[in-house]
Each structure stands twice: as structure tokens, then as C-alpha cells.
Structure 1
Amino acid sequence: MAGHSKWANIKHQKAIVDAKRGNVFTQLSRAIIVAARNGVPDAAGNFQLRTAIDKAKAAGIPNDNIERAIAKGAGTFGGDNSSLEEIRYEGYGPGGVAILIEALTDNRNRTAADLRVSFSKNGGNLGETGCVSWIFAQKWVCIVEGRVNEEQLLEASLEGDAESYEMIAEEMVEVFTELVNLEKLSHTLKTKGFNVTDIELRWIPGNQVEVTDPDQAKSLLKLIDTLEGLDDVQNVTANFEMAENLMAAMA
């Protein structure tokens, strides 16, 4: 099983627990600010913003906080959130695993320093821009939960112009598409009765590094968990492949 899919499943199972952490609230609020800033500050006309709001509500963020984040993104609230930058960092984990980090920060020097320390303490190193990004391609993913009829899923995926889908657990499917087809795909899946529980932009690796050593696996997963725990980090992607039983033991 591909590492990114199994890891996506583990991260999804951790979502309810992780949502209780304050940094997750910060990350989701920042995602709303950026979505509102990059498009119209109206969920009806901004699919990225609508998706960010849905994730925030699912995590239990109060409506007042969501409205405040939208206002900050639109520039009608005040404060210094207009200084938030979207920055991508790249590096290597144990065993040469490529790691891509997406961050939102108001202080790139602080963020880079935090990332450098996290890498060095967990057997990796922060690299230069472009050192690993060539390995990955961006795709939007609709996550479907519940038991599905694969014939019906295939039909709906074709109708929604999906590129592919992957069964990553007994009751979880990921359906991949380009940004231009995302809203159509999401609408089609929901109309056909599929339970779309999340939508996210993900970096998909073109090749994977197999990790078989338990100590290396432990260091790698600890590094990813540490990176994801940083306030400025929005998303972490890696190109590792690991046996399911080894990953489950480490997680």
C-alpha cells in the first residue's frame, strides 16, 4: 500500500483528536483568511473559501471566529493578518525521503528556523527551494466515507471528470481531479449519494522511497508529526512507502 495513502488514512483517523489542539484552530483560521484574500470574501462565489469554512466548522471553530477570519482576509477587520505569506519549504527526512511543507506565516525567518530545528532533531535536513518539489504534482482530492458500490463510484467519477480514485480503507475512498473540475466532481459525488467528508489540495509524489527499517520509520513519522505540530505549518507531504503493519506499529 502506498505510504501517502496509508498516512492519509491515519491522519484522517486522528482528525477529531488533533482538532482539539489550539494550533489546528490557528491553521484553519489562517486558511480561511488566505482563501478570502485570494478570491471574493463570499463562500457562495469562492469554492476554496467554502471548503475552508466547512473544515473549520467540522473542527468546531465557532461561527464568530470564522466570520472574523473572513473579514481579516477581506481587509475589513484590521490587524496584521494581511502580512501572512504562503511559503513552500522542502527538505529530506531519514532515508532520503522527500518532504514538502506548506506554511502560512507572518515571519518567514521564524518559520524557517523552527523547521530547521525540527528536521535536525529528527534525522533530516531542510533543503533549498526546488530540491524535492519536482517529485510532486498537485491534485485536488475528494474524500468519500462509507461503503461504496465501485461500479456506481466509477460512473460518478467519470461523470464528474475525475482523473482516478483509490480505495485506501474498507470504508474510505479518495477521488482525484484537477482544480478546474473540483466543484463539478464534488457536486456529482454528492448528488449520486456519496458521503463526501472532506476536500483537500494534496501533493502527490511521482515516486516513493521504501522505508523498511523500524528505527528509520520511527524517526520519519516523528519528524512528520513534529512538523505538523508547528503553528505556521498548514500541510506536510512525503514520498515514503512503508508496509502497513510497520506503519501501524509506529503510529
Structure 2
Amino acid sequence: MAGDSHRAGLSATAGASAQPALDYYLITPETGPGAFPAEGLVVEEFVFAGDHRTIGLNTARWSTDDRAWQSSAAFGRAMREDPRLRARVAAAGRTDAEAVCHRLGGGELPGEATLRECFRDTLALPDSAPLRLGPEGGSRGGHDSRVYRVLFAGDLRLPGLARLAPEVITLAEDADDPRTRIAGTGGLRTARDVFTWELRRIGPGVACCVDLTAHLGTTCDDALRPLLRSLTTAIRHAGPIPVTIERFS
């Protein structure tokens, strides 16, 4: 991977340690053109193990039917398993979610601390310790090397990705060919760590993933959580919905 893939713009993200923001989604109606662009809101947050793999998912939704925030692990699962529902889900930032909440008659969108209090039925995700195929220690002389996979439900939407996340993913020349497995790459080098990642198709129209390789120069892995967050956010705003973050080594 060329040096221009090591994005300086991600350095601040990789070094951040602040409380992560929630993920926001708009639920659009099934009716045709002319309908209001949203009929509900969803907020989510993954639950992480100490090594940054996900072990649970919290989901809460607000709809014009219930007009109240309801915790719903079942809805979070359905967003990922039901293609028809997934097609109606659109990632949003908090500012857009606030505007839609007002327009739907839901009043002021609660603060994130209040929204987290709505999470009452966590969806447990498969959890297993990573399989190490070699000794402890980094392959490049560093302290440790790890491989993570961020799995997404849904197909890649390349126009959106090219527009929204060019600083995160450099698309392959033949990325629009559904037979191309590695659709894009990226990377980041800090003073002590080296990160590289690949955007992969898993099944046509079914799933995709980002495989992140981390070569850590010290015992500190604080850069991993915000970097995984940045990659997940970039892809989900281009269409696919994050399912889990696994650690392979």
C-alpha cells in the first residue's frame, strides 16, 4: 500500500479516547413518492469487550405509532436480517435525527445519556477469544499484532462511499465489478502503531466487511477503539449496517 493511504486526517481519531457517540438511523416508510421521508428513529450502541471486539448491541426506537422510546433487541436484529426493512434504514447524524424528531412531533431529541437509559434488552453477540496462530508479539518487531473484522449487512454502495469517505477508503479501479472481492484499501501510521485495512465483499448483495490489521508498537491499544469506530461510521453512512466486530488474532 502506498504512503498516500496513510491518512493524516485519521490521526486525531486514532488518538481520541472520548465517550463514543450513539449511532442514529431514520426509518423510512414503505409507501411511494410523496410520503414523509421518515416515520421513525433508531439509536444504537455496541457493547465491547476489553480487547475492542463487540459482545452486545443495544437498540432503541421511536415511531409515530408508539410516540415513545422503546428498547428493542428484536428490531435491532431485524434491521440486519430482513432485507426489506434494511432497505428502509438510512444512517443519520445526530443533527439530522434532531430535525426529524421535531418534524415527527417527538419534540426535543433526548441527550445521549438519557437515550442510553432506554437500552434495556441487550442483544448478545457471539463472543469467543481470538485464535492466535503464532507467538505473542508483532510481526514487525512491535509489541503485538491483531486482526479485526467489522462485518456489515447489505451490499456496498460505492457512489456513497466515494463521496462520503474518500479519506478512509481508496477504492480499487474495478471496485464496481461485483466479482472484485477487495473493493478498497486504506491505512494509518502513527508514531508507534501501523494500521492497514481492506474493504471486502462477502456475498453479492448480502454482506461486506472491513478487515483491519493492527501492528501495535507498545502495550497501549487506546487507538484501536476510535479507529474501529471511524471505519464503522464511514461504511454505515454509505449504506451497509454494522453487525459485529470480531477479533481474529
TM-score by length of 1: 0.28
Q: Which has the higher strand share?
A: 2
TM normalised by structure 2 equals 0.28
**Structure with the larger helix share:** 1
